[in-house]
Amino acid sequence: MRESKLKRFLRTLKYRLILKFKPRKNRVYTQFYRFPNQYVAIVDRVIPELMQSSSYRDDDVLEIVIFACCNGAEAFTLSHLLKSKFPNLKFRIRGFDIVPEVISQAQTQKYTRDEVYCGPFVTEEFVAETFDKIDNDVYIIKPEIANPVQFAVGDMLDKPFMNSLGKVDLLFAQNVLFHLPPPKSKEAFANLVDLLKPGSTLFINGMDTDMRIKLTKRYGLDPLEYLIEEIHNDARVDRGAGWAGAYWGREPFSRSTKEWVRKHCTIFSLR
């Protein structure tokens, strides 16, 4: 037990030093159906609570923005989820990334078999409901899934651009903030919060946890205390091996600190 505690202490120390001194750099990487328990939370809690709010009307169009959208996998996964679970819901998804090449691919709506199946949680049911197969190695997003989704180059550090987007209902900035130097990450987070309105929901898997605790408190964001551990462990499937040797690594789940909810939570709403 002592060796285990000592090893954990040393690994944590190593990780904190990496967070402080390791240069950050952009990483182009994504998957379809990446966070299944986050999708459960959207279906069970986020959308029902939004639809039950006093400001929601049946003919409202839900405004959704995704930053670091990469090749569109997250946007099309979300579109499939909303279409299948809330068939009468009207929504628009706008995906932005700073890399023109991935935006160009997202706009084609076409993917290889390896790109479609690279995620560990992808099922045959999801693939059949989301894609039409063109040939053995090319899949295209079904029109009903693709129609509500748009893509463009956009930078969340560009304040005039951010101001042009208007307020949104659901905002995703996942696995991107930890790739920015901490001062830029804080700047980006402030720009993200400016897009929220009371009742909006922010999804922020993939940011330094100390920063998440401080900034969500500063800006009055409340954690969704639902499936926190399950969502955390979904992220560790890809990122767990990176802890504690990389800044993007996902540490083991723990309730040992008083701030464990904000530390591990990835879904927050503006009061």
Q: How confident is the model over 102-142, as pLDDT tens digits?
A: 999 999 999 999 999 999 999 999 999 999 999 889 999 99
From the CA atom positions of the chain, what is the Rg in Å? Answer: 19
Strand bridging mode 149-153 / 267-270: unpaired
The three-state (H, E, C) secondary structure of the chain, written as one string: CHHHHHHHHHHHHHHHHHHHHCCCCCCCCCCCCCCHHHHHHHHHHHHHHHHCCCCCCCCCEEEEEEECCCCCHHHHHHHHHHHHHCCCCEEEEEEEECCHHHHHHHHHCEEEHHHHHCCCCCCHHHHHHHEEEEECCEEEECHHHHCCEEEEECCCCCHHHHHCCCCEEEEEECCCHHHCCHHHHHHHHHHHHCCEEEEEEEECCCCCHHHHHHHHHHCCEEECCCCHHHHHHHHHHHHHHHCCCCCCCCCCCCCCCCCHHHHHCCEEEEC
Q: Where are the domains of the chain?
A: 27-51+58-270
Residue 1 pLDDT: 42
Using the predicted structure, report yes or no on whether residue 60 has a pLDDT greater than 50.
yes
pTM for the full model? 0.94
Using the predicted structure, report yes or no on whether residue 3 has a pLDDT greater than 70.
no
Tell me the mean pLDDT in the region 60-66: 97
Using the predicted structure, report yes or no on whether residue 177 has a pLDDT greater than 90.
yes
27-51+58-270: in CATH 3.40.50.150:
yes
User: Which residues are 152's β-sheet partners?
Assistant: 96
Which is more confident, 11 or 67?
A: 67
Percent of the chain with pLDDT over 70: 99
Percent of the chain with pLDDT over 90: 80
Tell me the mean pLDDT in the region 165-179: 97
